[in-house]
A = this chain, B = another copy of it.
Amino acid sequence: VRLIDHVLDDGFELQCGLRTRGLRLRCEVHGELDADGGNAVLFPTWFAGRHAANRWIIGPGRGLDTARLCVIVVNAFGNGESSSPSNDPQLLDGGSPVPTSLWDNVRAQQALVDSLGIRSLHAVVGRSMGAQHALQWGCLHPERVERVFAFCGVPKTTAHNQLLLDAMDDALCAEDTEAGLRLAARIYLGWCYSQEFFGAADGTRAWAERQLLENFRQFDARDLLTLVRSWRAADISANPVFGGSLQAALGAIRARTLLMPISHDLIFPPRDVEAAQAAIRGAQSWLLVSPWGHRAAAPGGRPDEIATLELALKKFLLPERLTTWESLSLVMGRVLAM
């Protein structure tokens, strides 16, 4: 495991028009790259996540199997590891964060992939906002991405999801920053599990609220705001290549694509994920059933659900590496829709 800081060329222009100097993408690399780079899996971070969070399914024999794959976890702009308002004054405009888009992130990731000598990625894998990165890769570089695995995410943030993010934005901009952070976490909490999850046991909410608040506290408020806004504006077609046509963007994807919605996900309901699937040539969708909603199979989640996610990943990325037991599990319907 090694950390790489990839520095972008001076003049790298953000979608908002800002020409930057020395913008940084920080990556954590797991496993060894083949001579031709053909075993590389790009694995971007999600909202309020840093590279360390992505480790939960990486390792020898794991969902992202480092015995065969080289997994490159890349930090999104604004997450405090890659360039962010908290570590780079360029990304502040009069105290306010400069917007960094999905397109900005993926163009920067492309430069990183080039610098590593990788011509074609074995896969881009992402969860939540990271799934939006993966889908953006699929449509921008159809010839360079063999597989796209999008876990609980959609190609364009919905109007309903924007509403949630606008409320969090309002809270994070409050005069009283501590109260604002707590309120933003509280607003998000209602959406990131399911109603059923909270009903299950006393103390569940207290536990979940503590977890989420600890998570949010790891971020500078301006960085968090950058991520909120990046997510809010996320749309794989909102760029010069696709000019706002989502159908064109989805239609441009040539990678084998697997979408994995979660039954109780209030942020990315299965219906929205399945609408995307229908527009991507040959895409498959496998449903993960869980009252944990958007947090199902996330770090700290239920081991059986994480195992299901990993099994889906292995079957999709390295079917030849499945053990007899794993193949049997699939046949027995542990991942039903496979």
Q: Is A9 part of the binding interface, using a Cβ–Cβ cutoff of 8 Å?
A: no
Which chain A residues numbered 271 to 285 have a C-beta less than 8 Å away from chain B?
271-272
Q: Is A304 part of the binding interface, using a Cβ–Cβ cutoff of 8 Å?
A: no
Q: Is A289 part of the binding interface, using a Cβ–Cβ cutoff of 8 Å?
A: no
Please give, as numbers and ranges, the residues of chain B lying within 8 Å of A176 by CB-CB distance. 175
Contact of A167 among B174, B187, B205 (CB under 8 A): B187
Nearest chain B residue, comparing its CB with the CB of A161 = B195
Q: In the docked arrangement, what's the CA distance between A161 and B194, Å?
A: 11
CB distance from A211 to the nearest CB of B (A): 14
Contact of A195 among B160, B196, B209 (CB under 8 A): B160
A166-B186, A175-B176, A179-B170 as given contacts; A266 in contact with B195, CB under 8 Å? yes
Please give, as numbers and ranges, the residues of chain B lying within 8 Å of A266 by CB-CB distance. 195, 266
Q: Chain copies in the assembly?
A: 2
Q: In the docked arrangement, what's the CA distance between A2 and B278, Å?
A: 57
Contact with B along A182-198 (1 / 0, CB 8 A): 11001101110001111
Contact of A164 among B166, B190, B199 (CB under 8 A): B190
A159–B269 contact, CB under 8 A?
no
Please give, as numbers and ranges, the residues of chain B lying within 8 Å of A167 by CB-CB distance. 183, 186-187, 190
Which chain A residues numbered 17 to 70 have a C-beta less than 8 Å away from chain B?
none
Contact of A159 among B179, B205, B272 (CB under 8 A): B205
A176-B175, A266-B266 as given contacts; A198 in contact with B160, CB under 8 Å? yes
CB distance from A193 to the nearest CB of B (A): 8
CB distance from A179 to the nearest CB of B (A): 7
A158-B195, A195-B269, A272-B199 as given contacts; A189 in contact with B170, CB under 8 Å? no
Contact residues on A (Cβ < 8 Å of other chain), bracket: 20 to 34
Nearest chain B residue, comparing its CB with the CB of A164 = B190
CB distance from A205 to the nearest CB of B (A): 5
Please give, as numbers and ranges, the residues of chain B lying within 8 Å of A179 by CB-CB distance. 170, 174
A170-B179, A182-B170, A183-B171 as given contacts; A199 in contact with B163, CB under 8 Å? no
Q: Is A204 part of the binding interface, using a Cβ–Cβ cutoff of 8 Å?
A: yes
Please give, as numbers and ranges, the residues of chain B lying within 8 Å of A186 by CB-CB distance. 163, 166-167, 170
Contact of A199 among B160, B183, B209 (CB under 8 A): B160
B158–A199 contact, CB under 8 A?
yes
Contact with B along A64-96 (1 / 0, CB 8 A): 000000000000000000000000000000000
CB distance from A270 to the nearest CB of B (A): 10
Q: In the docked arrangement, what's the CA distance between A199 and B198, Å?
A: 26
- Which chain A residues have a beta carbon within 8 Å of chain B's beta carbons? 158-164, 166-167, 170-171, 174-176, 179, 182-183, 186-187, 189-191, 195-199, 204-205, 209, 266, 269, 271-272
